[in-house]
């Protein structure tokens, strides 16, 4: 069974639809008023024990303000309080995590392992944000497919320079397919998701002639087009509901409408849980999210209401030639956190050190220290990935293991390595619970 629901974010909008009157009404994201969070406490740099060569151990109601925790990681107090509320059945909203980062996060192995640990303990609330129509992308628990050739914008998603108007949704990438023949599908494959699911589709009509069709499974097709009261240009949302796992299909039918992802979650009214949004981009740096339009990204961020934002950058900065710029990296991390808190003032933040890199033995520790200093200044928790791996030369050691935990390129890890990091990171975010 598939139902349609209207999303609301800053006001309801009513485009024409080819479905019955109960069809969902896309709405434009409205930028919230800026509010800067109160000064955050100083960050304590958490240094976990290095991972050894052995295999790693294994309609929503507003949430009440999370209680302060007497123990645990100080900079993660609100996030941990929200988890504690989930654990005792006192919370009526999902606990959401946003992970901004590079290719290490885009693969969704590191993030997937952390998601698995948290969802097993506190409740599985869905895969969260998923790109639609992006061929170079994967996500745990879903199967993605496209017909014909789809394009992305910006063409270089990792750029630190503003491209066009900088409006790329929550994930920093928008996609479009050929009208009439292009199809993009997202199928939920996680058998642990048997309850009602909401599908929050983000899209943008850039010209008056743009149109697209959206459907779930064998359900009705909702045709979306611009009108005088719903002009093109803004990011908008269409929310559909399915009873259990389904397949979303999106098809451009005219012009060049853009897709900015879909958020798939369970109904928190039935049982709230944990959602982790993977927003990694191959090649991304700390300057990447700063190149996005602040108002539109901030509106999407506020829509998600995250309890925790993870910043996973630094590996690409460690490759800067002829020299790294630690001061710039520290400043950029602080700017990212400031931007996040203007739209999500109650979120906690966690900054991760880069992984070891074979061709940056001297530069990687400098980048690590710069990120740690940025975390201190911004009041974020810090996790020393570099140290957890074993420090200098550890990526080569991981690559010689059998089975290997690092790839032969000296930069990336294998699925086994990423999942080991995810499980290790979970001990940090859960410390004190």
Residue 255: CB atoms within 10 Å: 18
User: What pLDDT score does 229 carry?
Assistant: 80
Residues of the chain where predicted confidence (pLDDT) is lower than 50: 1, 5-49, 52-70
Instruction: Find the Cα–Cα–Cα–Cα dihedral 240, 265, 347, 104, rounded to 10°.
Output: -110
The pLDDT of residue 227 is 84
Query: Which residue's structure tokens are 């009440």?
Result: 64
Residue 354 CA to residue 417 CA, distance in Å, equals 14
CB 114 within 8 A of CB 426: yes
pTM: 0.86
In this prediction, residue 51 carries a pLDDT of 58
Q: How many CB atoms lie within 10 A of CB 2?
A: 17
DSSP letter for 196, please.
Answer: E
């Amino acid at each position: 069974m598939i139902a349609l629901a209207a999303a609301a974010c800053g006001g309801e909008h009513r485009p024409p639809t080819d479905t019955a009157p109960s069809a969902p009404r896309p709405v434009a994201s409205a930028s919230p008023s800026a509010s800067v969070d109160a000064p955050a406490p100083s960050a304590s740099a958490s240094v976990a024990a290095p991972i050894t060569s052995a295999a790693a151990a294994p309609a929503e109601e507003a949430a009440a303000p999370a209680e302060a925790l007497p123990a645990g990681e100080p900079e993660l107090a609100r996030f941990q309080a929200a988890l504690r509320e989930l654990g005792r059945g006192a919370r009526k909203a999902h606990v959401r995590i946003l992970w901004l980062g590079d290719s290490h996060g885009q693969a969704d192995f590191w993030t997937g392992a952390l998601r698995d640990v948290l969802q097993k303990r506190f409740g599985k609330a869905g895969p969260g944000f998923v790109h639609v129509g992006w061929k170079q992308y994967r996500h745990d628990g879903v199967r993605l497919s496209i017909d014909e050739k789809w394009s992305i914008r910006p063409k270089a998603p990792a750029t630190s320079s503003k491209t066009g108007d900088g409006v790329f949704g929550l994930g920093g990438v928008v996609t479009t397919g050929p009208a009439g023949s292009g199809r993009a599908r997202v199928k939920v494959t996680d058998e642990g998701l048997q309850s009602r699911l909401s599908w929050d589709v983000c899209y943008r009509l850039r010209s008056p002639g743009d149109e697209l069709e959206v459907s779930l499974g064998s359900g009705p097709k909702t045709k979306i087009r611009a009108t005088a009261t719903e002009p093109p240009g803004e990011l908008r949302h269409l929310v559909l509901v399915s009873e259990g796992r389904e397949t979303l299909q999106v098809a451009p039918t005219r012009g060049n409408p853009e897709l900015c992802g879909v958020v798939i979650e369970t109904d928190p009214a039935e049982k709230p849980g944990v959602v982790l949004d993977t927003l990694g981009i191959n090649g991304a740096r700390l300057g990447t999210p700063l190149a996005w339009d602040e108002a539109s990204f901030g509106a999407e961020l506020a829509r998600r209401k995250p309890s925790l934002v993870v910043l996973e950058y630094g590996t690409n900065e460690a490759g800067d030639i002829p020299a790294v710029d630690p001061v710039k990296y520290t400043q950029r991390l602080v700017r990212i956190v400031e931007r996040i808190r203007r739209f999500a003032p109650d979120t906690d933040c966690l900054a991760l050190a880069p992984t070891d890199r074979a061709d940056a033995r001297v530069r990687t520790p400098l980048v690590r220290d710069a990120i740690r200093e940025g975390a201190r200044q911004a009041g974020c928790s810090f996790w020393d990935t570099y140290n957890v791996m074993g420090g200098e030369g550890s990526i080569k050691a991981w690559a010689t293991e059998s089975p290997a935990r690092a790839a032969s390129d000296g930069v990336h890890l294998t699925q086994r390595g990423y999942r080991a990091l995810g499980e290790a990171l979970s001990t940090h975010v859960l410390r004190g619970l």
